[in-house]
């Protein structure tokens, strides 16, 4: 099927959803009366290969009886601390001036949320975001203020630029060309969603953002509704890829709202990608969405082939290749 026809077909889902809104919203609400089959829970889903280790940590916490909100934080701290995850926390590729700057957000089953953006020198931005959520009247802290808050809360300042990161950056400086290359680039944000034993949903998203970005640039990942969104009546969604495209369409919020109108997680992710390819030059950029609903069903879709995600459900943790708008 041509890309154009594919898009028209996908857009029809959105149009149909709008017509169906009152009825299907009702249908979704009905299925949310804890009628879900318990065997699908708990579940954890997260972006890219490093999601496997993150899922393991999150699932252990869920099986110990933790709430989803605790498990998502525990899960994404794994790639944040891993110097081999080059788009998250410690070991993340720096911006064009050589600074590692971090974005993260977290959201619980009550709609409470916290986020940090443009945070430097703190290894676990997700835990700072959690503190913003739990211990302040605010949702988002940024830059120096976020760092000041983190230090006040006892986080330690440390250098996050590894030798390997610095070497890559110096190599990049030779050409200083700013051009995302699909999948290999420079981005592997972790977005992670969990359904706990009770069937409550929470999500977390954390990243060092696009490598070689302008100093001060903030992507979609710390923006609630863009990089991640959860509504405990409906489901959750998280995003990875070129954040500007996700911000322009408020992708995660859009996808949760489409599920509210009756779309499956898969249909909703496809429509989320359709909104991007409709108006944006998508040829050189990758975006991937992951979504779950209250029944423990999931969906994923990307612009290009190459996006994968880790699903931990029914006792198995596996890496799955996502379908995409552009076919192989
Ligand atoms: C950003 N969305 O900063 C992030 C990058 C990313 O996988 O997702 N990489 O735009």
pTM of the model: 0.88
Q: Check residue 9 and give its pLDDT.
A: 44
CA of 207 to the centre of ligand 1 (A): 7
Residue owning tokens 């999500």:
203
CA of 187 to the centre of ligand 1 (A): 5
Which residues in 123-153 are b (16+ Cβ under 10 Å) and which e? bbbbbbbbbbbeeeeebbbbeeebbebbeee
Q: Just give the CATH number of 35-321.
A: 3.60.20.30
Report which ligand 1 atom has the smallest distance to the Cα of 243: 10
Q: pLDDT 10s per residue in the chain (328 long)? A: 334 334 334 444 444 444 344 333 333 333 333 334 445 789 999 999 999 999 999 999 999 999 999 999 999 999 999 998 888 999 899 999 999 999 999 999 999 999 999 999 999 999 999 999 999 999 999 999 999 999 999 999 999 999 999 999 999 899 887 765 555 454 589 999 999 999 999 999 999 999 899 999 999 999 999 999 999 999 999 999 999 999 999 999 999 999 999 999 999 999 999 999 998 888 889 999 999 999 999 999 999 999 999 999 999 999 999 999 999 8
Compute the radius of gyration of the chain from its Cα atoms: 19
Residues annotated as part of the active site? 189
Q: Considering only CA atoms, which residue is closest to atom 3 of ligand 1? A: 209
CA of 31 to the centre of ligand 1 (A): 33
CB 46 within 8 A of CB 54: yes
Helix (H, G, I), strand (E, B) or coil at 38: helix
Ligand 1 contact via 124 beta carbon (within 6 Å): no
Region at 105 (left for phi over 0; alpha for psi -120 to 50; beta for the rest):
beta
* Cα–Cα distance for residue pair 107/205, rounded to 1 Å: 9
By the 10 Å C-beta count (0-12 exposed, 13-18 middle, 19+ buried), 179 is classed as exposed
Helix (H, G, I), strand (E, B) or coil at 135: helix
Q: Check residue 129 and give its pLDDT.
A: 98
Report which ligand 1 atom has the smallest distance to the Cα of 246: 2
| Sheet containing 113-120: order of strands | 140-142, 113-120, 101-107, 201-207, 190-195, 43-47, 308-313, 316-321
Ligand 1 contact via 286 beta carbon (within 6 Å): no
Query: Which residues is 105 bridged to in the sheet?
Result: 115, 205
Q: Check residue 181 and give its pLDDT.
A: 57
Q: At what angle do helices 265-279 and 251-260 cross, to 10 degrees?
A: 140
Report which ligand 1 atom has the smallest distance to the Cα of 242: 10
Alpha helices per DSSP H over the chain: 3-31, 51-63, 68-81, 125-135, 143-152, 163-175, 243-249, 251-260, 265-279
CA angle (12, 17, 309) in 5-degree steps: 80
- How far apart, in Å, are the Cα atoms of 29 and each of 19, 111, 174, 275, 327? 17, 17, 56, 26, 35
Largest CA distance in the chain: 58
Q: Check residue 62 and give its pLDDT.
A: 98
CA of 3 to the centre of ligand 1 (A): 24
CB 95 within 8 A of CB 187: no
Q: Check residue 187 and give its pLDDT.
A: 58
Q: Check residue 144 and give its pLDDT.
A: 98
* Cα–Cα distance for residue pair 238/193, rounded to 1 Å: 7
Query: Which residues is 238 bridged to in the sheet?
Result: 228, 290
């Amino acid at each position: 099927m041509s890309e154009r026809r594919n898009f028209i077909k996908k857009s029809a889902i959105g149009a149909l959803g709008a017509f169906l809104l009152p009825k299907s919203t009702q249908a979704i609400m009905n299925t949310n009366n804890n009628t879900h089959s318990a065997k699908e829970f708990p579940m954890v889903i997260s972006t890219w290969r490093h999601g496997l280790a993150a899922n393991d940590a999150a699932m252990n916490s869920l099986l110990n009886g933790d709430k989803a909100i605790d498990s998502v934080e525990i899960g994404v701290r794994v790639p944040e601390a891993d110097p081999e995850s080059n788009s998250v926390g410690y070991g993340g590729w720096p911006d064009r001036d050589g600074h590692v700057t971090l974005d993260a957000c977290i959201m619980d089953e009550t709609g409470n949320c916290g986020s940090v953006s443009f945070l430097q020198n703190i290894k676990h931005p997700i835990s700072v975001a959690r503190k913003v959520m739990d211990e302040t009247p605010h949702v988002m802290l940024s830059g120096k203020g976020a760092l000041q808050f983190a230090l006040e809360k006892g986080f330690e300042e440390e250098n996050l630029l590894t030798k390997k990161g610095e070497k890559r950056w110096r190599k990049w400086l030779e050409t200083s060309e700013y051009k995302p290359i699909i999948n290999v680039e420079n981005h592997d944000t972790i977005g992670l969603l969990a359904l706990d034993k009770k069937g409550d949903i929470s999500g977390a998203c954390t990243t060092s953002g696009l490598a070689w970005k302008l100093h001060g640039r903030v992507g979609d990942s710390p923006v609630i509704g863009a990089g991640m969104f959860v509504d405990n009546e409906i489901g959750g969604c998280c995003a990875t890829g070129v954040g500007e495209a996700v911000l322009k369409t408020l992708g995660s919020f859009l996808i949760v709202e489409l599920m509210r109108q009756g779309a499956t997680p898969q249909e909703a992710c496809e429509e989320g990608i359709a909104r991007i390819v409709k108006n944006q030059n998508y040829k050189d950029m990758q975006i991937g969405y992951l979504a779950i609903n209250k029944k423990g069903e999931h969906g994923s879709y990307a612009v290009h082939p190459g996006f994968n995600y880790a699903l931990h459900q029914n006792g198995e943790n596996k890496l799955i290749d996502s379908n995409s708008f552009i076919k192989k």
